Structure 1
Amino acid sequence: MNGPASVSDAARAWQGPRPPWHGRYVTLDGMRGIAALAVALFHFNISQAPHGYVAVDFFFALSGFVLATSYLPRWQAGMGTGEFMLKRLVRLYPLFLVGVALTTVVGLARLHSGGDTSLSLRTILISTGINAAMLPSPLTNTLFPLNVPAWSLFYELVANFLMIVLLFRLPRVGIALVCALSAWWFVPAVVDNGSGNIGAVWHEWPIALARTLYSFGIGMLIARMPQPEHRPSSWVGVACLVAIAAMLMADPQFLSATAYDLACALLVSPLLVWCGSRFEPSRRFARIAWFVGEVSFALYAVHWAVIEPMRYFKDDLHYNAVLMAFVFLGACLAIAWLCVRWIDVPARTLLSGVLRRREKAQRLRHAALP
């Protein structure tokens, strides 16, 4: 769920005179933001985004494309597994930890008030400690019981590791074979399950891994296609933004949920990544697309903590559901922006500086060897 810009680029984006989307895949940024909003809306009120969970397949395809575009040349130049995984942790961990912290606070508050006693204090505390290490909890059926959507971030790290140790070494036909085998495992599971909403619990791990590797591999294949030297700004970029919103919020009656989810995961999401990587929106939409993309990961990481407080107004006080959906998404965007501005950018800048000094020291030590 990350873009190709570096931490220093992200820091300048908030204060530099140059448009912050300069050099970015703006359409992909915007689609990532819309997808994150759809996931949040699905969790808040499933009827308003009934297939919002297939955004995860889009995220994995997008991540495969972005990481292959950004890191394959660096791997070919000698980047090691440890260096790559450290960079991924720097990118993911600050906001991941914020999400764990916020959802734990909400979980403790609900336990104290009696609003949710399904998890004991012991389970909450131990699971929080394990989850904070980006590992699933062995105490519950749900991998991340207090921040359920974090399961996909765990599989993102798994896919990142497999990419640097295996997938980068494979030719295109090898990656295509990985995608075919993953689809062969994933499709029957979706048919048996009745939907593509799979991956958050322990017993689904083989299907979740297949789901991840299919989309991730497809994204890598798209990155290894010939890329245009220039991405024109046109209505096609705007159409991509509309298309992903329609995909995640539609509920067509002429298709079963199974068929729709498989079509979105196997065909539509990769097609949107391919199209979004070749066209940009017009300038009037670029700022909005960049902004929702910039806060998308933060929104995904923290939105679960906002759901229960907001549901009180929707379910208990019976406020208008559509109004509350807008209030909920507005609150998520505001919190996400604050997290990016005051936590994520400073933390990644600091951690990236530590990594650069570490790499420089290693180069100096190697240069000093006889």
Structure 2
Amino acid sequence: MTDSSVPDATVSGKPHYEVLDGLRGSAAVLVVLFHIMGMTVSWADSGQLLHHAALAVDFFFGLSGFVVAYAYDDRWKTMSTGQFFATRLVRLHPLVLLGAVLGLLSFTLDPFATNQKAIPMATVLVDFALACLVLPHPSLPNRWTDSHSLNSPAWSLMQEYIGNIFYALVLRRLNTWLLSLVMLIAAGFLIHMVWHSNTMDQGSDWTTIWGAPTRMGFSFTMGLWLYRIRNAFPKIRLGWVVLTGVLVAIFAVPRVPDAIAHGNGLYEAFAAIVLFPLIILLGAHSEIGKLEMALCKVAGRISYPVYILHFPFLFIYMNFINFRKPPLTTAYMAGAGAFVIVMVFAWLALKLYDEPVRKMLRPLTGRKA
């Protein structure tokens, strides 16, 4: 039994940044709430309380860059590129596969959207095969224009893989000044995107697919850079609870009215470029007590399964709303039920599937089982 008052260890035996793990869990839960609220009101902004929670993806990318640099920057003399890729695949891909299976079941067995059953099974199975490889596939009915139609959040996992590839082949070799230059160029592309689209919520669908590498390119590189210069900043310690409140506040700011030209996009870019790096630094420098440590451990462990597995359940909820058109009170009750189901299933998937499978596959990474 692990001691909840002691930080977990990374693959190389280093203690986790537990507050950052906890914040990843906080952001994952906020994403689920954002999607449930959006589906309930057909994505009308007036019914959404977390107007900017789509930015959680950018926060995830930044956290990933920081944690990858922490876990691997000093290991390259004893670790091959192949071992790095194997380690990352073992960490990420079991849940990608489970998410694809859930997406297939959600699409084919959905009791509310009967038009989905009219799609040839061969087409669905081709999409499923691509989903297992975390590759984009043609959009299916009742899935908007999503590039990963069976399990929408997988679009960001594809970007995570791309970021890891660039880290292993290029970015880790750059000195801090060159990495800074890459980050600034990526920030320029990001600002150009939001200047024209007035939103950071780009990249998950075929119409805005080039927004995906634009978002990842800045935030992941920023996370790598931030780890290298982390000690150059004052060590202000706020802790997980306070920083979660800050995240909620950033997401809950009302959408900037369209009358203020470019205002919404610039606010969201400011959050990604300025506020999220500050939160990551504050989280990395935080020291917390035993209770908060235990909560951060749970939140961190459940964050990835919550994020990557929630959409197949919410697709069914969405189709219930769209096809049955229940009263708003019923919709809210169903949304609350969907939230509980997602949380319980994510924990069960972690304990009964993800952790045992990763333990079994660990020898493939060059580590002992």
Q: TM-score with structure 1 length normalisation? A: 0.83
Over residues 182-223 of structure 1, what are the superposed CA-to-partner deviations in whole Å (9 max), with x where a residue is unaligned?
A: 122221222222211111134534432121111111111111
The amino acid of 1:344's aligned partner reads: D
Q: CA deviation at 1:64?
A: 0.3
1:112/1:27 CA distance change after superposition, 3 Å: closer
Helix, strand or coil at the partner of 1:280: coil
Which residue number in structure 2 is paired with residue 299 of structure 1?
306
Once the two structures are aligned, what percentage of the paired residues are identical? 27
**8 Å Cα contact 2:62/2:277 also seen in 1:** yes
1:269 to 249, 264, 276: 276
In structure 2, distance between residues paired with 1:57 and 1:99: 21
The amino acid of 1:16's aligned partner reads: T
The amino acid of 1:250's aligned partner reads: V
Q: Please give the residue correspondences for 1:37-76 in structure 2 after superposition, counting only pairs within 5 Å.
A: 37-46=29-38, 47-75=48-76
Which residue number in structure 1 is paired with residue 361 of structure 2?
351
In structure 1, distance between residues paired with 2:165 and 2:315: 34
**8 Å Cα contact 2:171/2:179 also seen in 1:** yes
Which residue number in structure 2 is paired with residue 79 of structure 1?
79
Give me the CA root mean square deviation: 2.8
Which residue number in structure 2 is paired with residue 5 of structure 1?
none
**8 Å Cα contact 2:5/2:291 also seen in 1:** no
Aligned length: 341
1:310 to 314, 317, 322: 317
1:333/1:202 CA distance change after superposition, 3 Å: same
Q: TM-score with structure 2 length normalisation? A: 0.83
1:149 to 153, 163, 174: 153
Helix, strand or coil at the partner of 1:259: helix
In structure 2, distance between residues paired with 1:354 and 1:185: 38
**8 Å Cα contact 1:57/1:265 also seen in 2:** yes
Q: CA deviation at 1:142?
A: 3.0
Which residue number in structure 2 is paired with residue 329 of structure 1?
339
The amino acid of 1:126's aligned partner reads: V
In structure 1, distance between residues paired with 2:271 and 2:49: 18
Q: Please give the residue correspondences for 1:191-230 in structure 2 after superposition, counting only pairs within 5 Å.
A: 191-202=195-206, 204-227=208-231
Q: CA deviation at 1:169?
A: 0.7
In structure 1, distance between residues paired with 2:192 and 2:287: 36
In structure 1, distance between residues paired with 2:249 and 2:289: 20
User: Does 1:162 pair with 2:172?
Assistant: no
User: Does 1:181 pair with 2:173?
Assistant: no
Helix, strand or coil at the partner of 2:291: helix
1:226/1:329 CA distance change after superposition, 3 Å: same
In structure 2, distance between residues paired with 1:306 and 1:96: 15
Q: Which runs of 5+ in 1 are unaligned?
A: 1-14, 361-370
Which residue number in structure 1 is paired with residue 242 of structure 2?
239
Which residue number in structure 2 is paired with residue 12 of structure 1?
none
Q: CA deviation at 1:262?
A: 1.0
Over residues 33-67 of structure 1, what are the superposed CA-to-partner deviations in whole Å (9 max), with x where a residue is unaligned?
A: 11111111222212132211100110000000000
Q: CA deviation at 1:322?
A: 5.5
2:291 to 284, 292, 300: 284
Helix, strand or coil at the partner of 2:366: helix
1:284/1:16 CA distance change after superposition, 3 Å: closer
1:323/1:29 CA distance change after superposition, 3 Å: farther
Q: CA deviation at 1:320?
A: 5.5
In structure 1, distance between residues paired with 2:177 and 2:60: 23
- Which shifted more, 65-74 or 178-187? 178-187
Which residue number in structure 2 is paired with residue 88 of structure 1?
88
Which residue number in structure 1 is paired with residue 134 of structure 2?
134
1:130/1:93 CA distance change after superposition, 3 Å: same
Which residue number in structure 2 is paired with residue 34 of structure 1?
26
The amino acid of 1:274's aligned partner reads: L
Q: Which runs of 5+ in 2 are unaligned?
A: 9-14, 39-47
